Amino acid sequence: MKQFIDPLAGLNDAQREAASCTEGAVLVLAGAGSGKTRVLAHRVANVVHQKHARPWQILAVTFTNKSARELKERVAAITPDGDEVAAGTFHSIFLRMLRREAKAIDYPRDFTVFDMDDSNRLVKMILNEKGEKRFQPRSIRAAISRMKNDMITPEQHENRAKTSDQKFINEVYREYENRLLQYAGMDFDDLLIRPIGLLKNHPSVLAYWRDRWRYIHVDEYQDTNLAQFELIKILGGSRPNLCVVGDDDQSIYGWRGARVENIFRFREAFEGTKVFRLEQNYRSTQPILELAHSVVSRSTMREDKKLWTEKKEGKKPEVIRLSTEADEAGEVVDRIGREVLSGKREYRDYAILYRTNAQSRLFEDALRSRRFPYQVIGSLRFYDRKEIRDALAYFKICINPRDDVSLRRIISEPPRGIGTTTLDHLVEWSRANDTTLTKALINGEVVEGLSSRGANNCRKFGEQIENWRNELKEKKLNEWAKWVLEDSGYIRRLEDGDKFENATRLDNINELISGLAQFEEEADESENGLADFVEQVALATDIDKYDPEADSVRMMTIHSAKGLEFPVVFVTGLEKGLFPFERMGDSDYDPDEERRLFYVAVTRAEKELILTMAWQRRKWGVLSGCAPSPFLKELPREFISESGTSSPYAAKQGSLGFGSSRDRNSKKAVSSFRKTNTSSSQKQETISPDDIPAIHYGDLVRHKVFGDGMVVNAVKYRNDIKVTVEFEDGQHDLLQSKAKLQPLKDF
């Protein structure tokens, strides 16, 4: 039946033209909301329909696993076997290739994927060994990543390095690469770079994959980096069937090595490229598009274009200025509450966007206190939690015993009598004998400098790991995982500890184990089950878990919001320094990228767009004044309506500036709003529990070391209270149960 469906049904003329061009190199310049993912899906369907290729011979690279899944679903809806399309992120697609072809580049098939945290740990290890404390591991690792994205090897960088800092970084880079090889690990950048070498140096491998993927599609092409462009060129060859879709205005990953120029260079790289433009926007109303255009047209270096829409009518975008960040959260959430409770909209219609993850907390607090359903995308991912990473490290060391980074993570988690001194000896021995830490553990007796007790502890742990590894193939995955975490003492330690958060951690571990059970059920006899699970976790994006069905308010960074759309969008924190984000001493800061980010933010909105800012915001715990974002000042007045407190001076008077319109709308909203507003001047979690004598702002206390001081803040911290006290020599954070503060009589 399905073969009678027109694969191009439902497309407009421009979309149809692009999707029907199934030969040669095609570049689709598609504006925000112009249906580019649709075009991609229909083009894939069209290729199959015209019998140019079977679905599994078509490669579609997208930005997230979620959009890959969506693309598959779209294709499957109009094409027989459509779900067999090879769709995924660059990283996941080429990881699969690398596993298959591991032999060719002298890697074991079960190499470990080092995610960002692993990479940072590795850099830190190297810095520690070199006794260098001047640099932050993260910044070094970022520099290395930038070089790898630009395909600069340590050897090449050696000649360019002029300053001693650069030379040092190069030294770390070289050692970092050595260690990855030694540990049989690949970082995220390797997943793109290694395939280039693989394909270039192995003609038979290249021939296989070129034949396998006869049609190549790339979504969000503006966010490709040099390595990705190179991969496309190699796979495409001289007569590519290649279609890339992108929008230079939405390039927001320059800091990660993405090159917008790849769009312009595409036409040079592939002769006879056909270019199509999609300029009709199906998402937003005219007023929103006007505002978006006024912002992005100031950007230098862009393809000139202007989106248009048939939705001429629509609400003017609003700008609201609030006194404090808590007021901002209160206003946004109250507005959502009013409209949902009056039946005008559902929770799922709203998205709250922000520049940095840290901003999510106040909105969360406000939503939670009103019991509104919400989901935060990003910030603290499930798989980034300490206990989950610990558990995964246990799994990883069993899959790949050469993975020293994982071993070091868990060697004292729980403590098993192997401390820093013993570890140092082990590391030294393993390096001297050119072997792994796991080997050193088992040979504890031979390692010089170890006490007999230390050696014994090492051997016991080494044998334990070996035992786990052997049982891996014998047991069901979830049972094996549970057993390993129990046998290792990890679970027991969580159970025994009386810490407040341990219960949550245990819950999370259990969730991981049931996730493993589910994975095993769904995975159809995949050969290396656990390895597949672990790598899926490493490459998972938080947006992948985004549930469009749930009726809840969505909160996420603008970066995470790319590719999504919502009826009502709040873009928050529009203050100078925060958005556009500025950081001192950031050399490769690109103001245009912030501008494009703002463009991405506002073009998420279908019907209503609200921009908010606060005159005061807490930064590093200190309340400081904020100036409006330059973006706000640029907005042509005729495109927006403004409200709220108009100056920082008004802010000091409290939040009276916008009381009147509120009173008319809802008394209830006002009262709930006022409540947050008053509690916001203190921290929301300010406590006075029953078991500990209450401590309050302004209390005078005495500390045995710091002397007398005044309490300026008290916040719940784990199952204790963190008290900030202003002493003569400055502020100190103290734990109330530990610091034994003596209350002094008030004057």
The two tokens of residue 144 are 């290395």
Give the span between the Cα atoms of 721 and 735, in whole angstroms: 6
In 445-589, where do the E strands start and end?
553-557, 566-571
Minimum distance, C-beta of residue 125 to DNA, in the bound complex (Å): 10
Q: Are 689 and 721 in contact (CB under 8 A)?
A: yes
Q: What is the dihedral of CA 385, 388, 390, 391, to 10 degrees?
A: 180
702 binds DNA (CB under 7 A): no
Give the span between the Cα atoms of 537 and 287, in whole angstroms: 41
* 155 catalytic residue (yes or no): no
Task: CB nearer to DNA: give 49 or 604.
Answer: 604
What is the contact mask toward DNA in residues 150 to 189, using x (rule: CB under 7 A)?
A: --------------------------------------x-
**Residues 108, 237, 419, 659: which binds DNA (CB under 7 A)?**
419
Task: CB nearer to DNA: give 84 or 544.
Answer: 544
The two tokens of residue 609 are 């767009």
282 binds DNA (CB under 7 A): no
Distance of CA 5 to the CA centre of its chain: 38
Backbone angles phi, psi at 605, to 5 degrees: -85, 135
138 binds DNA (CB under 7 A): yes
Residue type, 738: K
Catalytic residue among 15, 79, 224, 250: 250
* 37 catalytic residue (yes or no): yes
* 219 catalytic residue (yes or no): yes
* 124 catalytic residue (yes or no): no
97 binds DNA (CB under 7 A): no
Task: CB nearer to DNA: give 380 or 432.
Answer: 380
Q: Are 90 and 61 in contact (CB under 8 A)?
A: yes
Minimum distance, C-beta of residue 360 to DNA, in the bound complex (Å): 8
* 344 catalytic residue (yes or no): no
* 250 catalytic residue (yes or no): yes
CA distances from 42 to 26, 56, 65 (A): 14, 15, 19
Catalytic residue among 355, 595, 604, 683: 604
Give the span between the Cα atoms of 686 and 683, in whole angstroms: 6
Give the span between the Cα atoms of 298 and 361, in whole angstroms: 32
Using the rule CB under 7 A, give the single segment among 203-211, 289-297, 378-386, 397-405 that binds DNA: 378-386
Q: Are 584 and 262 in contact (CB under 8 A)?
A: no
Backbone angles phi, psi at 525, to 5 degrees: 55, 35
Minimum distance, C-beta of residue 243 to DNA, in the bound complex (Å): 20
Minimum distance, C-beta of residue 710 to DNA, in the bound complex (Å): 16
Minimum distance, C-beta of residue 639 to DNA, in the bound complex (Å): 26
541 binds DNA (CB under 7 A): yes
**Residues 415, 591, 693, 707: which binds DNA (CB under 7 A)?**
415
Minimum distance, C-beta of residue 347 to DNA, in the bound complex (Å): 22
Task: CB nearer to DNA: give 121 or 662.
Answer: 121
251 Cβ neighbours under 8 A, 6+ residues apart: 222, 223, 258, 260, 593, 596
Restricting to residues 214-273, which ones interact with DNA according to CB under 7 A? 255-256
Query: Where is 366: in which H helix or E strand?
Result: helix 360-369
Task: CB nearer to DNA: give 342 or 737.
Answer: 737
What is the contact mask toward DNA in residues 720 to 739, using x (rule: CB under 7 A)?
A: ------------xxxx-xxx
**Residues 51, 583, 633, 664: which binds DNA (CB under 7 A)?**
583
Task: CB nearer to DNA: give 149 or 400.
Answer: 149
What is the contact mask toward DNA in residues 449 to 488, using x (rule: CB under 7 A)?
A: x-x--x----------------------------------
**Residues 90, 213, 570, 599: which binds DNA (CB under 7 A)?**
90
Give the span between the Cα atoms of 276 and 261, in whole angstroms: 17
3-class secondary structure per residue, 233-247: HHHHCCCCCEEEEEC
- 10 Å CB burial of residue 193 (0-12, 13-18, 19+) is buried
Catalytic residue among 37, 112, 557, 572: 37
27 Cβ neighbours under 8 A, 6+ residues apart: 221, 244, 246, 263, 266, 267, 273, 274, 275, 276
- The counts of H helices and E strands in the chain are 31, 21
**Residues 416, 439, 460, 475: which binds DNA (CB under 7 A)?**
416
Give the span between the Cα atoms of 131 and 137, in whole angstroms: 12
What is the contact mask toward DNA in residues 654 to 693, using x (rule: CB under 7 A)?
A: ----------------------------------------
334 binds DNA (CB under 7 A): no
434: Cα within 13 Å, side-chain hemisphere: 2
Catalytic residue among 175, 187, 190, 219: 219
Catalytic residue among 187, 220, 328, 403: 220
386 binds DNA (CB under 7 A): yes
Restricting to residues 587-606, which ones interact with DNA according to CB under 7 A? 589
Minimum distance, C-beta of residue 698 to DNA, in the bound complex (Å): 21
CB atoms within 10 A of CB 214: 15
Residues in contact with DNA by CB under 7 A are: 63-64, 89-92, 116, 121, 124, 136, 138, 145, 188, 255-256, 355-358, 361, 378, 380, 386, 412, 415-422, 449, 451, 454, 539, 541-543, 557, 559-560, 581, 583, 586, 589, 620-621, 705, 717, 732-735, 737-739
| Residues annotated as part of the active site | 36-37, 219-220, 250, 604
